[in-house]
Chains A and B, each alone.
Chain A
Amino acid sequence: MAQGLDGDVFEAAAATVEEAFELALAKAGLTREEAMFEVLSQGRDVIPGEHVSAAVARVRVTRVAPEAVAARRHLEDLLARMEVEATVSVVRPAQAEPGSEESAPVMLEVEGSDLGVLIGWRGESLRALQTVINLMVSQHTPGAPRVIVDVAHYRERRERSVAQIARRVAADVVRTGRPASLDPMPPYERRAVHIALADDPLVVTQSVDVDEARRVTISLASSAPPGRYTVGSS
């Protein structure tokens, strides 16, 4: 069974997702505030006038760590003062950092309509929100896990698209034998590049330069002599 932030996981099944959540919360003895929700399988949509058979909604409820509850409150309070209408939920981080010794980060997902201002140019506002929330959390709870903020799945989408770019550039590097450098990226996007190419034995990735200019270079692995490999029909 999947590990929760502190391991308290409860599953329940019912006719609809909402009922299943109610059931799981009751089973866990948790309020909505203290829980993280996941839908394991959707029930069937109820079609008016039709008898719906035994389609079952299954859900999982995980008790979230007190620091995660606190982090969410900080973000909700901040958004209210920014006069932005949105909901904040604690979600399971998409991918664990390989080889990381750190405790699992808390991930907050902000959802609502028209949240572009919270993302900003190339995610600038999103990163600022995250910086401020982390300062608040560490002031109140020293040693608390890092908080990752995502807005309207922006991070998730960016990570997927930089991984795609990375694989395309890696194919060029393998074909030409010449190293390539990607555009400067923030840390989590660089991490997505490293992860995307970690399993590729033909190339190695490395972050170079500092601050705003920090970017990933992709070069042939030393065990992969140039010109020996071909990609596609070229």
Chain B
Amino acid sequence: MPDYGQLVSFMVSQIVSEPEAVTVEVEQDGHRAIVRVRTSPADLGKVIGRNGRHIEAIRTVVKAASLRSRDWVHVEVRD
């Protein structure tokens, strides 16, 4: 099973201007996980994107990574 916290943290840190402000919390329960990401307020728009396009892409990549181990992962983002 991939480390979803690490996966999300990697993607988000690489696309923001203040990677040191990125924190990721994972709540895992068997095959279900909730990943909560926080960024600096200035970077929030970049992580979400116009019409949520960026966060949807991040979620889709996480979903692709979760298919083989049949996990269910939800990604939330806030500042």
Contact = CB atoms under 8 A, between A and B. Distances in A.
Given A81-B3, A83-B2, A135 B64 contact: no
Contacts of A44: none
Contact of A83 (B46, B58, B63, B65): B65
Contact of B53 (A78, A131, A136): A131
Name the residue in B1, B53, B67 with the highest tally of chain A Cβ atoms < 10 Å from its Cβ.
Answer: B67
A120 B15 contact: no
Interface residues of A, number: 21
A82 B14 contact: no
Interface string B6-26: 110011001111000000000
Contacts of A124: 60
Contacts, number: 69
Contacts of A140: 14
Interface in A59-104: 74, 77-78, 81-84
A117 interface: yes
Interface of B: 1-3, 6-7, 10-11, 14-17, 46, 53-54, 56-61, 63-65, 67-68
Interface of A: 74, 77-78, 81-84, 117-118, 120, 124-125, 127-129, 131-132, 135-136, 139-140
